Each structure stands twice: as C-alpha cells, then as structure tokens.
C-alpha cells in the first residue's frame, strides 16, 4: 500500500526546506545551504453563488468565461469539491478557520438585524491570516467579508493587514453598495463611498494591492471575495447587451446572470494579468471556488446536480473549483478527491509552511494539488444551516461518509439517505433500514452536541427590532 506523503515530502515538492526556507533545485539535491525565503504568494478567489455548471469550461453553452477557463486549464480541476454550507457566512468561516462553521459560531448567515442574524464569529477562533503572518506573509482581503459588521469581528481586528471591501452580507445595489440603506464599504476601519460597479471596484483594488506588493520581498496572501454573481443580478448594461446580441432567444433572467458572470470573469482576468505584469505570476498559488451552489430562482445552472443554493442536495453544496501554481501543479490535471472549503485552510498553510498547532477539522489537499498520491480518507463530513424566514430559526443538516449521504433539505422535511455513487442525482432514497442511516445519524447527533456548546449569537433578541414579529 502506498503511503501518503509526509510534511517533509510536501516541503520538498514545493521547494521549501525543513526549516521553512526555500531550496533551489540544486540545493535540495546536494544538501547545500538553503537560499533566502521565497514562499509563494497566495491568491484565494472566492466568488458568490456560482453554480456548478455556470462556467463555459463546466458545460455552460450560453456563456463565455475565457479567463476562468484558462485558470482551470493551467492547473488542477477539482471536480468533487464542496462548499462547507449552502449559504454564504458559514462557508467563509470554514475557509478562514479550517473548522466546521457551527463550531466557530457561524451556523447561518450573519446579518444586520439581530432577529435575522444567525452567527457570531467565535473570538477564540484562530484565523488564517494570523498564522500566515507568523511565517512572514502580508495579508489582505478585498471584497465581501460577511463575518461581522462591527468590532471586534472586522477583518483588520481578526488578522488582516489590509481590508478594502464590504462588511455586509450583500448589496441591495451593485452601484450604490448599500444594504438596508447602510453603507458597509470600508477601507481598513474607515467608511468609504466609492463610485462604480462593485465587481469593478474589487477588481481594481486587487490590482492595486498586487502592484504595490511587487515592491516588497515579503510574500502576500490576498483573499479576493467577489460578491458576484449574488443577487441583485445587476450586470453593467453593455455586458447585458453583448449577451443578448450573441444569444438570441435567451430569457431576460438568464441573460442577466450570464452577463454578470462574464463581467466577473473579465475582472478575474485583469487580476491574473496583474500578477503576470508584475512578474509575480510564476510564484503565486491561485485557488478558485464558490461559497455555495447557484441560486435557481435567478436562472443559475448547477449542471446535472439536484437543487441549488440553500439546499442540502448536491446542487447547493458542490461547486466549481481549481488551483494553479506554475511549476508545481500540472496544467490540465483533474482530481475526483472529495474536499470541502475548510480543507483549504490547512492546504494554504502547508503551501506557506505555516504551522497549525490547534484543533481543526479541515485536512490538507496539497499532495493532491501537487500530483502526489493521496489515499482516500474515511471521515464523517457535516453540513449545517440555521436560518430565519420560512425555517423559523431551526437548523437542518447533511452528513456524509464515503458515498453515502444523509440529508434533511429543510427543518420540516424527513431525513433522506442516498448512495451518491449509484444515485448521483439523489432521486432514490434508501430508507431507514439501510445500515448507513443510523450510522450517519449517530455521527450527526454527536456533531450537533459538540456544536451546541458554541455560542452563535452575542445578544438576546431585541423585541423592538423591526424584523421581530
């Protein structure tokens, strides 16, 4: 049986010595003294509500996404990658902590009004930028934060050196950037009121950051979190006109979403071009994925998968993902290895040689990215969402082991067990008598017990809150 690669194997594969210093190829082979530190820059691109089938490289025949397609082709495509929740905040918490989101106080969406807020990022949670800073990185977030609207849960207070973006859950308008008539746009801790489409702003601010970092010897970690293609589906008019002209017969709803995604693709292309133009592209690990599946009500395409955003079915959880790293990740490669958003935390730490000395549930997939043999792992996986609206504050869940998945698609529906290998479209539930039903249910129960000890709401409900019945 082939043994999984050790951490020393990983460091050697990415050119970093055991002491955390980069080794030239000749030094790695000859045992000569290590060269100065040359850890990779890391660009983490997280988009918002992108469906599993909503890229041209993922089968969308009515869409043109040449820049993201090129990124997929230049590295490894992760065809079995899952968001850590079917909605926004929890997935972002998982990415930045490496933990199940309900174990760090974020079982649902963090929002403005207390009666409609379902998370409070645990002050004890160890954040990714803090670990990266310990190993010499400058850290930045551009775009959507969505893990706190006020002190102490703002990006700068939780470890980022630089923040330019939006604190809130969404924007009611891509041009005015308000949510509930509140301006959540910030430059560091300062409120700002910039002009322009949010996608264009986040693109330009990322380019500005990348350009500025080219003058520094320190590596950078840039977490670029676009809010597109989240609602409102509001592409620039010229992008919409281009889609309607190219795709006669397309519905207005679908045309708007296609245009918003194509505009997003153009922005990502400009950011990647900035890496090349500043001679930083060859030493940058780029990871791309979405925070959850596409929203069916606005015309999203989740490929052959059942359901969409908010669902515990595959369409709400399985998302497009890839990673590229010149000279380290083989172009055009693919992997069916099962991984979640929380796995990116240890993966990024491994690439940066940042030590993790506390408990996390995420597991590195760096060996897979580098083309090494990484044996499949039997581990229980969990998804949770606690939400208001029609869910009335009640949680619903999914649990998985191997190919078997137990899910509840809303708090008011029964649990269903599926064998995803035999039934990938989740059409034929297996029933309670199947031995995996109780096995997964027991594991889920234990997870719920563990998560129940973590506070997820800082304040009691204010009965005068306008959203309180």
Question: Is there a domain that residue 210 lies in?
Answer: yes
The predicted structure's pLDDT at residue 468 = 44
Residues 83 and 4 in one domain: no
The verdict on whether 88 is a catalytic residue reads yes
d(CA 380, CA 100): 12
Residues 364 and 389 in one domain: no
Question: Is there a domain that residue 460 lies in?
Answer: no
pLDDT in tens, 112-154: 998 899 999 999 999 999 999 999 999 999 999 999 999 999 9
Count of the separate structural domains present in the chain: 3
Residues 327 and 360 in one domain: yes
Question: Is there a domain that residue 437 lies in?
Answer: yes
d(CA 162, CA 193): 17
Residues 176 and 228 in one domain: yes
pLDDT in tens, 227-272: 999 999 999 999 999 999 999 999 999 999 999 999 999 999 999 9
Question: Is there a domain that residue 312 lies in?
Answer: yes
Q: Which helix (H) or strand (E) holds 183?
A: strand 182-183
Side-chain-facing half-sphere of 4: CA atoms under 13 Å: 12
CB count in 10 Å sphere of residue 274? 20
Which of 369, 398, 427 corresponds to the end of one domain? Answer: 369
Pick the range with the lowest mean pLDDT from 16-20, 21-25, 56-60, 71-75: 21-25
- Across the range 317-321, mean pLDDT stands at 98
Which of 58, 85, 88, 322 is flagged as catalytic? 88
Question: Is there a domain that residue 465 lies in?
Answer: no
Residues 346 and 398 in one domain: no
Which of 58, 85, 138, 146 is flagged as catalytic? 146
Name the pLDDT band for 2 (thresholds 50, 70, 90). low
Q: Which one-letter DSSP state was computed for residue 22?
A: B
pLDDT in tens, 298-309: 999 999 999 999
Residues 246 and 120 in one domain: yes
Residues 255 and 126 in one domain: yes
Q: Which one-letter DSSP state was computed for residue 426?
A: -
- Mode of pairing for the β-strands spanning 162-166 and 381-386: unpaired
Q: Which domain holds residue 199?
A: 41-369
d(CA 71, CA 74): 5
Question: Is there a domain that residue 375 lies in?
Answer: no
What is the distance of C-alpha 328 from the center of its chain? 22
Residues 174 and 107 in one domain: yes
Residues 396 and 306 in one domain: no
Question: Is there a domain that residue 376 lies in?
Answer: no
Question: Is there a domain that residue 35 lies in?
Answer: no
Residues 325 and 405 in one domain: no
CB count in 10 Å sphere of residue 412? 11
Residues 109 and 15 in one domain: no
Residues 177 and 87 in one domain: yes
The predicted structure's pLDDT at residue 459 = 58
List the CATH number of the domain containing 405. Answer: 3.30.1120
Which of 342, 369, 396 corresponds to the end of one domain? Answer: 369
List the CATH number of the domain containing 180. Answer: 3.40.720.10
The verdict on whether 57 is a catalytic residue reads no
d(CA 56, CA 60): 5
């Amino acid at each position: 049986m082939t043994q999984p690669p050790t951490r020393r194997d990983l460091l050697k594969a990415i050119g970093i010595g055991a002491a955390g210093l980069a080794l030239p190829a000749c030094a790695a082979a000859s045992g000569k003294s290590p060269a100065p530190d040359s850890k990779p820059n890391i660009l983490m691109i997280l988009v918002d509500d992108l469906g599993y089938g909503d890229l041209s490289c993922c089968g969308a025949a009515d869409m043109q996404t040449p820049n993201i397609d090129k990124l997929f082709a230049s590295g490894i495509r992760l065809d079995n990658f899952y968001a850590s929740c079917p909605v926004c905040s929890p997935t972002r918490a998982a990415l930045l902590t490496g933990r199940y989101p309900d174990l760090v106080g974020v079982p649902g969406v963090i929002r403005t009004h207390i009666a409609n807020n379902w998370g409070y990022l645990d002050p004890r949670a160890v954040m990714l930028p803090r670990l990266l800073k310990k190993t010499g990185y400058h850290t930045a977030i551009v775009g959507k934060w969505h893990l706190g609207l006020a002190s102490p849960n703002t990006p700068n207070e939780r470890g980022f050196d630089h923040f330019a973006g939006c604190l809130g859950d969404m924007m009611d308008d891509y041009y005015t950037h308000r949510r509930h008539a509140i301006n959540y746009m910030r430059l560091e801790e300062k409120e700002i009121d910039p002009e322009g489409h949010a996608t264009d702003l986040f693109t330009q601010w990322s380019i500005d950051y990348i350009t500025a970092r080219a003058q520094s010897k320190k590596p950078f970690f840039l977490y670029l979190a676009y809010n597109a293609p989240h609602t409102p589906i509001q592409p620039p008019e010229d992008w919409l006109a281009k889609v309607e002209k190219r795709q006669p017969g397309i519905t207005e709803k679908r045309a708007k979403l296609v245009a918003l995604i194509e505009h997003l693709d153009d922005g990502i292309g400009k950011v990647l071009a900035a890496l090349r133009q500043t001679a930083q592209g060859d030493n940058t690990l780029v990871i791309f994925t979405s925070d959850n599946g596409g929203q069916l009500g606005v015309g999203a395409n989740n490929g052959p998968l059942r359901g969409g955003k908010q669902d515990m079915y595959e369409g709400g959880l399985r998302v497009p993902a890839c990673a590229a790293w010149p000279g380290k990740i083989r172009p055009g490669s693919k992997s069916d290895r099962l991984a979640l958003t929380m796995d990116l935390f240890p993966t990024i730490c491994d690439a940066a040689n940042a030590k993790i000395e506390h408990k996390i549930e995420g597991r590195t997939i760096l060996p897979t990215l580098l083309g090494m043999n990484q044996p499949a792992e039997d581990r229980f996986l969990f998804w949770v969402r606690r939400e208001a609206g029609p869910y009335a504050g009640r949680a619903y869940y999914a649990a998985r082991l191997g190919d078997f998945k137990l899910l509840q698609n809303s708090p008011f529906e029964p649990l269903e067990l599926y064998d995803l290998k035999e039934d990938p479209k989740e059409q034929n539930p297996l029933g309670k008598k199947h031995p995996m039903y109780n096995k997964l249910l027991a594991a889920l129960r234990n997870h719920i017990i563990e998560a129940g000890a973590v506070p997820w709401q800082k304040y009691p409900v204010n009965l005068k809150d306008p959203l309180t019945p």
